[in-house]
Amino acid sequence: DGGITQSPKYLFRKEGQNVTLSCEQNLNHDAMYWYRQDPGQGLRLIYYSQIVNDFQKGDIAEGYSVSREKKESFPLTVTSAQKNPTAFYLCASSIGGGRANVLTFGAGSRLTVL
Amino acid sequence: GNSVTQMEGPVTLSEEAFLTINCTYTATGYPSLFWYVQYPGEGLQLLLKATKADDKGSNKGFEATYRKETTSFHLEKGSVQVSDSAVYFCALHGSSNTGKLIFGQGTTLQVKP
């Protein structure tokens, strides 16, 4: 079955450490996204990529970095510069950028900073 | 800029009750509108969508009508079940071609037997 796989599901990090969250899709989608979810705040866009080797900042990109070297992969690095990284992170993909295109989401990764 | 506002939760209902979750939006042009659902510990799944004024999206007994005159996209279901307990997100896609969605804050629904 096609879908999006995020790993790890749970991750603990000490302050000052960088961590990388994996996102892989086998849907042959061109566009991929990273959202952050905090209680009562909905989802906020961190980064998105519409094509391989290109990506753009979303609304809350500070303290995060991404790469898009392969169509199926869009890893997110949470750096030590991110002041409040504890959150639920969701990766998504879509066929393209059209206004009616549906986003398919992964199951999420929960990051906790100790 | 574009934004989405949902009614505050949590919403607690008895099984077979009628459900309404309000959603209003602010956007330029003609956005597409979506409802996504998130079950505990999972990612989001598309529930329904509407791409132009007066369109009605429907799925699994849920419905929402795109009302441009009131900038609303309220979610309704005639008879909820315990299995409908989840967080519901209203979202819009604006007139750009980036595929980015703007989400409301989410409304938690709890259905009691």
Predicted confidence (pLDDT) per residue in A9-45, tens digit: 999 988 889 999 999 999 999 999 999 999 878 899 9
Percentage of residues of chain A with pLDDT beyond 90: 78
Please tell me whether the peptide bond between A85 and the residue prior to it is cis, using omega within 30 degrees of 0. Answer: no
Pairing mode, strands B32-38 and B44-50: antiparallel
Average pLDDT, chain A: 92
> Which of A33, A68, A94, A103 has the most B C-beta neighbours within 10 Å, making it the best mutation to test the interface with B?
A103
Chain A residues lying within 8 Å of B41, measured CB to CB? 107-108
Chain B residues lying within 8 Å of A6, measured CB to CB? 43
What are the residues whose beta carbons fall under 8 Å from the beta carbon of B35, sequence distance 6 or more?
A: B23, B46, B47, B48, B49, B57, B62, B64, B73, B75, B88, B89, B90, B91
pLDDT for residue B57: 97
Checking if the pLDDT of B9 tops 90, the result is no
Checking if the pLDDT of A100 tops 80, the result is no
CA-CA distance, A106 to A110, in Å (whole number)?
Answer: 12
B94/A72: higher pLDDT: A72
Chain B residues lying within 8 Å of A41, measured CB to CB? 105
Tell me if B99 and A101 make a contact (CB, 8 A cut-off). yes
